[in-house]
Copies of this chain bind each other. A is one copy, B any other.
Amino acid sequence: MVQIPKAAAPSSTTPPLPHSVPTSADVARLAGVSRATVSYVLNNTSAVRISEPTRRRVRAAAEELGYVPHAAARSLRAGHSRIVLMPTPAVPMGPLYHGFIDELQWALGRLDYTVVQHGSVGLRGEEAARAWAELRPVAVLVPGTGIGPEGVAVLRRSGARAVVTIGPEAVEGAHAVLLDHHSVGHRAGAHLYARGRRRIGVVVPEERGLGVFSRPRLEGVRRALSGTDGTVTELPLGYDEESAARLAARWRALGLDAVFAYNDEYAMLLMRALQDVGLRVPEETAVVGADDLMLGRLLRPRLSTVHIELPAGRDLAELVDRAVRDPGGAPERRTVRGATVVHRESS
């Protein structure tokens, strides 16, 4: 552990500042009052009346010293924090997800929570949960499948009053926002079938970690076509031009008349490659993406897509807040079924 001398010998570049961080005791000393009074004034404690002159002296002293309260000390004393922890997913997420996180963060901020994104490098399961628990968050929002029942238990034991998973499956003991990837695939499959397509390809990204999302989407397409004369073909695809070109090269051999491309970005990649080998979209092959990015509207043909209605950041923030206030409540499971096909020109 690094040694930090409490007061370094003033270097020549920093003349007059031995530079120890001011505490409330320093403020008290300067204002000529007790630390208690400082606390009362700075927190506007209503249960106690402090004379106006005293208040002014305290505030002035705090200002002069540049006093900033110490969050860790405060929450140690209080016995709880306002930290909402969000592990950063190891998987590269798209713009849809990033937008969602931004909104959520903003909404939680409004409710006076401090959002902490924690990149847990290479830790998994219980080990990761333990690392998160050290921060004693009041709530934990876990995207994807970064946690199991044991992990949830660890967090609850460490005082987390709410654990919410955001992903394809629920976890014992935690609240869950269930992103129904299955229905995303199902909608896409049904749409393509309804438009007369029968031999349907489904892109499965090769990027590791995406399987959690792509598998249920694939499964959804399968389900949509089961019992019909339609067939489903799995198409591994890496997110790069060569991979797409390779796939496009053997496209005619595959004999497919439609493809659900996992999401809009893979769809753009693949559609481009198909057009480059002379395939006509949608005449010879229909293409459907997902996520409804701006991008899709700009393609020619305009990309059909599955619009996914993520929960508003505000709603999720309120779910968290409710769970924190009533930690005894039964785990809420909220399934997001907002998948709808946006039919444009590519299908």
Contacts and interface: CB of A to CB of B under 8 A. Distances in A.
Contact of A114 (B19, B79, B118): B118
A158 B13 contact: no
Contacts of A156: 19
Contact of A268 (B69, B298, B328): B298
Given A102-B88, A117-B117, A136-B70, A1 B78 contact: yes
Interface string A264-286: 01001100100000000000000
Given A70-B76, A102-B92, A121 B130 contact: no
A interface, size bucket: 35 or more
A117 B120 contact: no
B134 A119 contact: no
Interface string A10-42: 010110000101100000000000000000000
Contact of A98 (B75, B98, B159): B98
Contacts of A330: 13
Contacts of A78: 1
Contact of A136 (B72, B88, B265): B72
Number of copies: 2
Interface stretch (A51-59, A104-112, A206-214, A333-341): A104-112
A134 B76 contact: no
Interface string A211-228: 000000000000000000
Contacts of A116: 116-118
A66 to B, nearest CB: 5
Contacts of A13: 328, 330
Nearest to A10: B328
Contacts of A130: 68
B79 A106 contact: no
A159 B135 CA distance: 20
6 contacts: A8-B328, A19-B157, A21-B136, A66-B153, A66-B154, A272-B298
